[in-house]
Amino acid sequence: MRYWIAVLAIAMISGAAGVLFLLGQNQPDAVVKISLTSAPFPLTVGTSTLLVSLTDGTGAPIEGATITVEGNLGHLGMLPMTGRGNTLVNEVYPVRITWSSADDWIIDVIAVLADETTVIREQFEVYVYAIPPFYDNPAARYRSVSENTEIVTANADREHWIIIAQGTQAVLRQGHGEDSEDILLKVGGQDTLVIRNDDIADHTVGPFFVRSGETIRQRFTEPAVFQGVCSISDNGSINIIVEG
Amino acid sequence: MTYRWMILTLVGLMGLSACSGGDQAMPTLHGAIFDPPRALTDFSLTSTTGQLFTLSEHRGELVLLYFGYRTCPDFCPTTSIELRDLYQELGESAERVKVVFVTVDPERDDLESLTRYIAAFHKAFIGLRAEGDSLQSLMGQFGVIAERRPLGDDPQSYLVDHTASIFLIGTDGRLQAQYLYGKDYQDILSDLKIILKATPRTN
């Protein structure tokens, strides 16, 4: 009996070790990061180049990876647009891809590292413009869905985040915007409003005018109600209600 | 993208202290903090001092800027009085702070009447007057809105609905914070003291 228990225990330990070994081989390194920008920035209809940056924990570029990019509109019947790159140029992987429509695109970036087993993924929500807008910010980049989620949830018990997505103004002009909802805050609880403007246009949210690329952070210490213009919603107005 | 602007109000994560946010520029301040501080296009406007007021000439000082008009019945006098109290409580530090009022009603607020108006609150306060594109350009930098609301048939009889905030321009000439209408002046005073303490005199 003891013999079989010992055999079983060894088998289980070996199996667990094997699984851990395989997981260790295939799990992406947590510090490997994918960043995304484009030339031109922002993207416009037609063929353009996505610039995918793959960095390790020290921020150094990772060589030898293969990058696959897939862009989806999420419309029925629309085929995804794909591109591939495996050459590091000026510390980024250029990936040529054609955008067939001025719209919101979901871009999946998949990086297979040189070991051919480690796979890193990131998803980006990017608006593609019909006409090249005037925009001049060499440091501009797209923020991944996971990056946004991380920042929004990090202090969710006290911070209420509004992330104004890139392309918000263009979408509103297309008539595809959404009405705003009241922002409810609570003094002593979730009492800090943070607005980050990732759009290429400036925006007004109630009493706050937030330029492209800016983040504004307001902590409320007293109950109040602010009504005002809202340039990020279809109905054009918003209420910020701070409860006691 | 289903939602153009993402509002997530997730509750339940264990709290971090109010000052632990890693990307907060100045977490202890009471105003709405701009990150990064907004670069402002320099401007030079007619002022109640008799000389042009040029923003870039006030580097090293803090500038509290607000917009309004002389016949405003509520926000402007209330804010001006609060700023007067703030200014007086600054003591010697007041020499490093400029309080600047910009009229959004240049048609009725000529320089003479504006001078009398602003001096009624504090002799050190400065009134600025601009018209047309100069005024619009300045307002645009701060996202200030001003719309006339007629009170009757007389074209000279109207109120002006306008942005009711105080803007804090830092010693580097960049927009650092915004204080919404109703903010206790003691909170603003506290912020100024923190910033002044952190910013040694340059001369």
Average pLDDT, chain A: 88
HEC string of chain A equals: CHHHHHHHHHHHHHHHHHHHHHHHHHCCCCCCEEEEEEECCCCECEEEEEEEEEECCCCCECCCCEEEEEEECCCCCCCCEEEEECCCECCEEEEEEEECCCCEEEEEEEEECCCCCCEEEEEEEEECECCCCCCCCCCCCECEHHHHHHHHHHCCCCEEEEEECCCHHHHHHCCCCCCCCCEEEECCCCCEEEEEECCCCCEEECCEEECCCCEEEEECCCCEEEEEEECCCCCCEEEEEEEC
C-beta atoms of B32 and A209 within 8 A = no
> Which positions of chain A have pLDDT values less than 50?
1-8, 18-25
Whether A33-142 and A155-243 share one fold: the answer is: yes
Residue B174 above 80 pLDDT? yes
Residues of chain B contacting residue A224, judged by C-beta atoms under 8 Å apart: 180, 182
Chain A closest CA to B6's CA: distance in Å? 5
pLDDT in tens, B34-46: 999 999 999 999 9
**Rounded to an integer, what distance in angstroms lies between the CA atom of residue A164 and that of residue B6?**
7
**B180 at interface of A, judged by CB pairs closer than 8 A:** yes
CATH T-level topology, domain A33-142: Immunoglobulin-like (2.60.40)
Residues A155-243: name the CATH superfamily. Cupredoxins -  blue copper proteins (2.60.40.420)
Quote the ipTM score.
Answer: 0.78
Going by C-alpha positions, the residue among A117, A146, A125 that lies closest to residue A33 is: A146
pLDDT 10s digits, B118-155: 999 999 999 999 999 999 999 999 999 999 999 988 98
Q: Structure tokens of B38?
A: 């907004």
Cβ pair A209:B142 closer than 8 A: yes
Residues 82-111 of B with CB under 8 A from A: none
Q: Do A161 and B7 touch (CB under 8 A)?
A: yes
Share of chain B above pLDDT 70, in %: 86
Show which of residues 107-146 on chain B sit within 8 Å of chain A, judged by CB atoms: 142-145
Q: Give residue A79's pLDDT.
A: 85
Residues of A in contact with B180 (CB under 8 A): 207, 218, 224, 226
Q: Are strands B175-180 and B165-169 parallel, antiparallel or unpaired?
A: antiparallel
Domain extent listing, chain A:
33-142, 155-243
Choose among A157, A167, A192: nearest Cβ to B13.
A157
- What residues does A64 pair with on adjacent strands? none
B32-49+57-198 belongs to CATH 3.40.30.10: yes
Q: Is the peptide bond before B77 cis (omega within 30 degrees of 0)?
A: no
**pLDDT at residue A71, as a whole number:** 96
User: Which of B32, B176, B180, B166 lies closest to A228 in space, CA to CA?
Assistant: B180
Report how far residue B126's alpha carbon sits from residue B144's, in angstroms, rounded to the nearest whole number.
19
Segment A37-51, tens digit of pLDDT: 999 999 999 999 999
Contact A67, A110 (CB under 8 A): yes
pLDDT for A11-37, tens place per residue? 555 555 544 444 444 555 568 999 999
**Share of residues in chain B with pLDDT > 90 (%):** 80
What's the rounded mean pLDDT across residues B62-89? 97
Q: Looking at chain B, which residue has its C-alpha nearest residue A220?
A: B30
Contacts of B10 in chain A (CB under 8 A): 152-153, 156
pLDDT of residue A14: 52
At residue A19, the pLDDT reads: 46
Binned at pLDDT 50, 70 and 90, residue B87 comes out as very high
Pairwise CB contact (< 8 Å): A156 & B1: no
Q: A228: which strand partners? A: A238
B172 compared with B7, residue with greater pLDDT: B172
